[in-house]
Structure 1
Amino acid sequence: MTDTPLAPLFSTSGGDVAARVDGLARAVDATAGRLDPALVEEGAAVVRRAGERLRLASDRTVVALAGATGSGKSSLFNAVAGIELSAVGVRRPTTSWAMAVAWGDSGTRELLSWMGIAERQQMSLTSPLGSTTDDTNLDGLVLLDLPDHDSTEVAHHLEVDRLVQYADVFVWVLDPQKYADAAIHDRYLRPLARHAAVTMVVLNQIDKLPPEKWDGALQDVRRLLAEDGLAGVPVLAVSALRGDGVDDLKRALVRRIRDKQAAGMRTGADVEHIAKAFEQLSGDAPAIGLTDSDRDQLVDTLADAAGIAAVADSTEKTLISQAVAATTWPPLRLIGRSKSRAADDGVVAARVQRPAVDVAVRDVAEKSTIGLTPSWVQSMRRAVVVPNRDLGDVLDSAMASTGVGVGRAPAWWSTVKAIQWVALAATVGGLLWLLALAGAGLTGSTSAPTVAGVWLPVILAGVGLVVGLGLALVTTVAAKSSARRRARGVEDRLRDTIAEVARARVLGPVDAELAAYDQARRGIAQALGRNA
C-alpha cells in the first residue's frame, strides 16, 4: 500500500466521475481484508461496473423502462420506438425477459453483451422511422424493457434487480390504479432515491382517468415520490395507447442523451452511496499513530522483558573475572582459579518474560488506533497482536543467535600474561639465588653481584614482585574499563536485535495498517469529492 495515486481508470470521458471512482478503488484496495467483506465486495463491484460502463460506449445512454404487470410498460416501449418491438396483450401478459433497442449501432452490441442481454433480445434502429423532429431524435439511446418487477416468477424480479444496476436512467412506469402499490415504492423507488437525478416517472394509461382527475393523480404521485425521497423527479402523464405525452417523454429522453451526463451521474451516485457506507464504517479522522517516543518505549519494554541489562551485567563480571585470571600475577591467579572458573560459565542467559512482551504489543496496537473506528481497531489487532503471540520465542531465538562474544580474548591479555611470567621468573630466580647465598653463608663467605651496592638477586626478586603486583593492579583497572565497554557493546547489540525484531514483527505491521487506513481515508474523501 502506498500513497501514490492509482492510474486513472478512465480517459477524459470519465471526467470528475473518473477521479471519484479512482478514489473508491483506492479505498477498496486499502480495506480489503480489513473491513466488512460484504461492503468491500460491494465497493469492488461498483468500481468494476463503473470502469466497464464508462469504457463501453460512454456516449450511449441506457434507459430502463420498469414497472408492474399491466402498467403498459411494453406498450410504452413500442410507442417510444415507433414500431412494435415488444409483444403486448394476451400474447405476452408479463415481460419474461429484458428487450433492448438501440438507436445507432456504434459500440452498442458490446455494451448490451456486457449487460448480459442476449443477441436475440437486441434490436437496432439505424435511423428514426418516419419523420421526426430534432427534439425527438433518439440517436444515442439504448432503451430496455425490463421484466415485470411484481412477477410471480422469481427469475423475473431477480433480472430486474440485476439490470437496475446497469441502467443510466430509470423510467418507472406506473398506472392509475396501482401507482401507490408498496411493492415498487418499498423495493425500488425508496432504495434508489440516491439516483433521483437520473430518475423519471411516467403515469401511463392516463386515458383511463377522466381529464379532470389527471392533475390530482399527478399530484398524488408526486406526494408519494417525495415520501420516497424523490421530490422533484419529473412525472409525466402518458397514454401509450393514444400517444398522449409520448413525444414529451421522447423530449425528456433526448435531453438526457444530449447532455451525455446520465452515465456519469448514475455512476457518481453509486460511488457516493457506497463511499458514505465506507466512511461510516472506516471513519474520516486522520490517524494519530505512534510517536517516536512510543516506538522507543516499545523497544525499551521488550529489552527489559528480555533482561538484556542482566545479561550485560553478567557479561561485564565474567569479562573482568576472565581478564584478571588471564593477566594477574600467577600466584594470585592460583588463589582465584576456582572463582574465575565459576565466572567463566556465569554469563546469564536471556530469559524473556512473555507476559510483559504480550502486554507491550497490545499497548502499541491500542495506542496506534486511538481515534479510529472499531473496525480498524480489530484490523490492527488481527495484524499485530494475533501474529505476535510467539514474539517471546522469536526474541529468545534472535538474542541467542546474536551472542555476547565473551570468549574472544583481547590481544593485550597475552602480552601482559607473558610479562607476568617474566616478573614471576625474576622474583622466583631472585629468591632462589638469595636462598643459595644464605646456604653458602653457613659454610663460608658469600658474595653476589651488586648494583649500586644492592645485591642483584635482591633487585631481581624485588623488581619481579613489584612489577607483578603493580601490573596486576593496573590490568585489573584496565580490565574493568574494557569489560564495561564490551558489556555496553553486548547490550547495544542485543538492543539492536530487539529493535530489529520490533520493527519487523510489530512496528512494520502497525505502519502498514496505518498506511492502509490513510489510503482508505483519502480514497473515500476523493470518492466523495472532498479534500482529505
Structure 2
Amino acid sequence: MTTTTPGVSGTSEETSPQQTAAPRRDPAAPSEVSGLTHRLATLDRLVELGEGRVDQDLMDDAAALLARAGDRLRLSGDHTIVALAGGTGSGKSSLFNAVCGLELSPTGLRRPMTSSAHACVWGLDGAGPLLDWLEVDKRHRYARASALDQASGEEQAGSLQGLILLDLPDHDSIRSEQVAEVDRYVGVADLLIWVLDPQKYADFAVHRRYLEPLAGHDGVSLIVLNQIDRLAPEEIDECVKDLRRLLEAEGSRTPHILTTSAKSGAGIEDFRDVIADTVAARRARTQRLVADLDRLIQRFEDAFGAVEPPATIDGKGAAALVEALVDAAGIPAVAEAMESAYALRATDYVGWPLTRLATRLRSDPLRRMRLVELRDELRAAFTTPVNAQQAHVDNALQDVTEDVVRDLPPSWRRSVREAGRSNAEALPETLGASLRAVVPSFNQVPGWWWAVRIWQYLLLVVAAVSVVWLVGIAAFAGLKVAHAPTRLLGEAGLAPYVALVLVCVLGLGLLTALVARNLVALTAAKHSERMEQQMREGVTAAARELVITPVEEELAVYARFRDEAGHAIRDVAR
C-alpha cells in the first residue's frame, strides 16, 4: 500500500531505515563548498567596495545572491532541490507524479493547472527548514513513504534519498503571482528541469525569459522533451536536433536533453536515473550557486578598466591645484597688502620723530585712506572664508581629477570626481583659516625697530639739548640778560661748536631715517614673501587634507576593487 505524509515540517515522528540512512557524499564536496565560500567572500568584498560606485542593479543582484547563497549553504546540504518547470500542457505534473509514484499533483490541459508549487520529499531530516525557506505551502508538501520505497527496491529507493522534487506552476500562466512564483523557484532550485512538449518546445517566451539567461547553467539544467508518444521516431530525432540547435544558439554549450512520455512510460526510468545520480552526488547545490556566481561575476568586467590606476594626483596636478586655490584665496593680493601695511607700520617706528610729528600735524588723507583700505582688506582675509572665489575653487576641484580618471570606467570616474569635491563646502573656510594663521607674526614688532626708535629719540634729546644750549649762549653771552651761571653759557665762542653738534645730530637722524626706510623696504618684501610662503603652506596642507587625500583613498578603493574583480573573473575562467 502506498502512503504519503502531508505537511512536512522539521522532523518526522515515524521514519524508516531508508529515510534515515546517511546519504552518499562526494569526497570533493567539502572542498567545493570551501572554494565556493571563498568566492562568495570575494563577491562580498566587491559589494562592499562597489556600493554607491558601481551600477546599483549589479550591486543589488550581488547582494541578493550573497543572501541566497548564505541561506542555502546554511540549510540542509543532504537535500537536493529539483524543480520541474514548464508551460501549460507540457506534462510536467505527469512527470512529477511518475517520479513520485503517486498522483500528488493535478494534471490537465486547462490554464493554469498547477496553481502553486507541490513538493515531494525523500528523507525528512532537515527538510522542514528548507521547505520553509522555499515557502512551499504545507498543504502541498508530501513525504515519500518507506513502504513504497521498499516495494520499489532498496537500491532505487536509496538513490532518491535527499530529493526535494518541486512541481512548479505554469510559467505561461495568465496570473502574474504564479509567474512571479515560478521566477522565484527558478532562482533557488539546485537542479532545473525544463519540460517542453513537441508543439511548444521553441516557444519564444520560455527561451527568452528563462533558457537564454540561464545558458551558462548546463551543469544544473536538464531539458526534457515530453509527450514523444505523439511523434514518430524520425520526428523525435528532428525535434531533438532542432531543440539542441536553438539552445546552442542561445549560448548553451552542452545542453542535456532527454525524451520522455509520461503516458507510455518511455524514458521515465532514464529520467529518474538522472535525478537519482544528481541527488546521490550531493553537488547540485554548490554547482547551482557556482553557476549563478559565474554569471554574475562576468557582469563585473565592465566595472573596471584594463589600465593600472594611478595611486595619487601627480606633482604637476597637485601644484596646479595649489596655485588655483592660492588664486582663489587671493593670497598674492593679501601678501601685497601685508607688505604695504608692514612698510606703513614700520614708518611709525623707524621714521625721524620730527618728520612723523609734522605728518601728524599736517593731515594726510591719502595715507589715511590707504591705511583704511589695508585694514579692511586684511580684516576680510583673516576673518571670513574665501567664499567670494567659490567659482575658482569649483573649477580647481574639477580640473585636478581629470588626469587621474582618464582611464577609469565611467562609474569610477564619477566616484573619484565626487571624492575630490567631497569637501568643497569646507574648503573656503579652511583657506581663510590658512590666511588667519599668519596674524600673530603680523602683529609682532621686530627688535631692530625698537633699537632704531630708541636711537632716534636719543638723537632727538641731543638735538634738544643743543638747541637749549644755543639759546642760553645767546641770552647770557650775547644779550647779557644776566650773569651766566656757568662758563658753558657765558662763552660765545662755544656757539659754533654747539651749532655743529646740532647740525650733525639732525643730519644723523635724517640719515638714520633714510637708511631705516631702505631697510624697511627690503625687509617688507622679505616679510611679505615669508608670509605668502606660510599661507601657501597652509593652502597646500588644506589641498592635501581636503582634496588629494580623499582622491587617493577613492583610488585605493578602486585599486582594491579592480584586484578583487580580476581575481574573481580569473576564477570564472578556470
Written as runs of structure 1 = structure 2, the 5 A alignment for 1:63-462 is: 63-89=82-108, 94-125=113-144, 129-130=149-150, 131-133=153-155, 137-211=159-233, 213-288=235-310, 290-335=313-358, 338=364, 344-347=371-374, 348-349=377-378, 350=381, 353-384=389-420, 388=424, 394=429, 397-398=432-433, 401-402=436-437, 404-405=439-440, 406-410=442-446, 413-443=449-479, 447-448=487-488, 461=502
Which one of the candidate residues 521, 540, 546 is aligned to 1:499? Answer: 540
How far residue 479 of structure 1 moved from its aligned partner, in angstroms, is 4.0
**1:443 Cα deviation from its structure 2 partner:** 4.0
**How many angstroms does 1:86 deviate by?**
2.3
8 Å contact from structure 1 (residues 20, 528) kept in 2: no
Q: Residue by residue, what CA displacement relative to the aligned partner does 1:495-524 show, whole Å, maximum 9, x if unpaired?
A: 244334434543344334433433432332
Partner in structure 2 of residue 511 of structure 1: 552
Give, in angstroms, the shift of residue 326 of structure 1: 1.2
Go from structure 1 to structure 2 and tell me whether the alpha carbon gap of 1:426 and 1:447 turns closer, same or farther (over 3 Å shift): same
* Matched AA of 1:373: P
- Alignment partners' CA distance in 1, 2:111 and 2:173: 13
TM normalised by structure 1 equals 0.84
Aligned residues: 518
Change (3 A) 1:119 1:419: farther
The letter of the residue matching 2:169 is P
SS at match of 1:273: helix
Q: Distance in 1 between matches of 2:281 and 2:523?
A: 84
1:455 shift after superposition? 9.2
Look up the match of 1:8: none
With over 3 angstroms needed to count, the CA separation of the structure-2 counterparts of 1:343 and 1:84, relative to structure 1, is same
Q: Secondary structure at the match of 1:70?
A: coil
Question: What SS does the corresponding residue of 2:443 show, helix, strand or coil?
Answer: coil
CA deviation after TM superposition for structure 1 residue 188, in Å = 1.4
The whole-number CA distance in structure 2 between the counterparts of 1:112 and 1:500 is 60
Deviations along 1:342-384, one digit per CA (max 9) or x if unpaired, are 5544534457544433322221232231112333334444554
Whether 1:490 and 2:500 are equivalent positions in the alignment is: no
Partners in 2 of 1:120 and 1:464 — Cα distance?
Answer: 120
CA offsets 1:375-422 (integer angstroms, 9 cap, x no match): 33344445545974x678546754565464433334554454334322
User: What is the CA–CA distance in structure 2 between the aligned matches of 1:455 and 1:58, rounded to whole Å?
Assistant: 122
Q: 2: CA distance between counterparts of 1:319 and 1:239? A: 103
Letter in 1 for 2:561: A
Q: 1:479 to 1:378 in 2, by over 3 A?
A: same
Distance 1:218 1:29, change over 3 A: same
Give the drift of 1:308. Answer: 0.6
Which deviates more from structure 2 when the two are superposed, residues 269-278 or residues 453-462? 453-462
SS of structure 2 residue aligned to 1:201: strand
- Distance in 2 (alpha carbons) for counterparts of 1:484 and 1:260: 84
Task: Give unmatched runs, 5+ long, in structure 2.
Answer: 1-29
Residues 501 and 214 of structure 1, relative CA distance in 2, 3 Å threshold? same
Are 1:23 and 1:525, in contact at CA under 8 Å, matched by a contact in 2?
no
Q: 1:454 to 1:194 in 2, by over 3 A?
A: farther
Does structure 2 conserve the Cα–Cα contact (< 8 Å) formed by 1:64 and 1:143? yes
After superposition, the Cα gap between the structure-2 partners of 1:247 and 1:460, relative to the gap in structure 1 and judged at 3 Å, is farther
Shift in CA distance, 272/231, structure 1 to aligned 2, threshold 3 Å: closer
In structure 2, what residue type is equivalent to 1:176?
P
Q: Deviations over 1:163-198 (max 9, x none)?
A: 111112111112233322223222211121121221
Residue type of the partner of 1:375? S
Q: Give the unaligned 5+ runs of structure 1.
A: 1-10
Q: What is the one-letter code of the residue matched to 1:235?
A: I
Report the AA paired with residue 61 of structure 1: T
Going from structure 1 to structure 2, the CA distance change for 1:90 and 1:213 (only over 3 Å counts) comes to closer
Please report the TM-score for the alignment, with normalisation by the length of structure 2. 0.79
Moved more, 491-500 or 65-74: 491-500
Which stretch shows the higher mean deviation, 298-307 or 257-266? 257-266
Superposition CA RMSD, Å: 3.6
User: Compared with structure 1, are the counterparts of its residues 255 and 448 closer, same or farther at alpha carbon in structure 2 (3 Å cutoff)?
Assistant: farther
> Which stretch of the first structure deviates more once superposed, 158-167 or 236-245?
236-245
Change in Cα spacing, 1:157 to 1:484, as seen in structure 2 (3 Å) is same
Instruction: Check conservation: 2:342, 2:524, Cα contact below 8 A.
Output: yes
Equivalent AA in structure 2 for residue 317 of structure 1? S
Query: What amino acid does structure 1 have at the position aligned with 2:258?
Result: L
Go from structure 1 to structure 2 and tell me whether the alpha carbon gap of 1:207 and 1:90 turns closer, same or farther (over 3 Å shift). closer
Q: Secondary structure at the match of 2:35?
A: helix
Q: CA deviation at 1:14?
A: 3.4
State the alpha-carbon separation in 2 of the partners of residues 322 and 228 from structure 1. Answer: 85
Contact 2:75 2:129 in 1 (8 A): yes
Task: Identify if the C-alpha distance between structure 1 residues 230 and 386 changes in structure 2 by more than 3 Å, giving closer, same or farther.
Answer: same
Instruction: Indicate the residue corresponding to 2:25 in structure 1.
Output: none
Corresponding residue of 2:79: 60
Equivalent AA in structure 1 for residue 149 of structure 2: L
Letter in 2 for 1:515: A
Q: What percentage of residue pairs aligned between the two structures are identical? A: 37
What secondary structure sits across from 2:149 in the alignment?
Answer: coil
Q: 1:64 to 1:475 in 2, by over 3 A?
A: same
Decide whether the 8 Å contact of 1:423 with 1:463 is kept in 2.
Answer: no
Offset of 1:292 from its aligned partner? 2.8
Q: Find the residue that maps to 1:40 and give its secondary structure.
A: helix
Tell me the alpha carbon deviations over residues 103-161 of structure 1, each in whole angstroms, 9 at most, x when there is no partner: 22343322222232233333344768222426961223222111111222222222111
Paired with 1:426 and 1:330, the residues of 2 have a C-alpha distance of 13
Q: Aligned partners of 2:498 and 2:162: how far apart in 1? A: 122
> C-alpha separation between the residues in 2 aligned to 1:291 and 1:113?
57
For the Cα contact (< 8 Å) 1:171–1:199, is it kept in 2?
yes
Determine helix, strand or coil for the equivalent of 1:368.
coil
Counterparts of 2:134 and 2:534 in 1: how far apart (Å)? Answer: 63
Q: Which letter maps to 2:201? A: Y
Distance 2:256 2:158 in 1: 17
Whether the aligned pair in 2 keeps the contact of 1:102 and 1:143 (CA below 8 Å) is yes
Q: State how far apart, in whole Å, the 2-side matches of 1:482 and 1:51 are.
A: 72
Larger RCO, structures 1/2 (Cα 8 Å, 6+ apart): 1
CA change 1:132–1:74 in 2 (3 A) is farther
One-letter code of the match for 1:222?
Answer: R
Compared CA separation, residues 188 and 199, structure 1 to 2 (3 A)? same
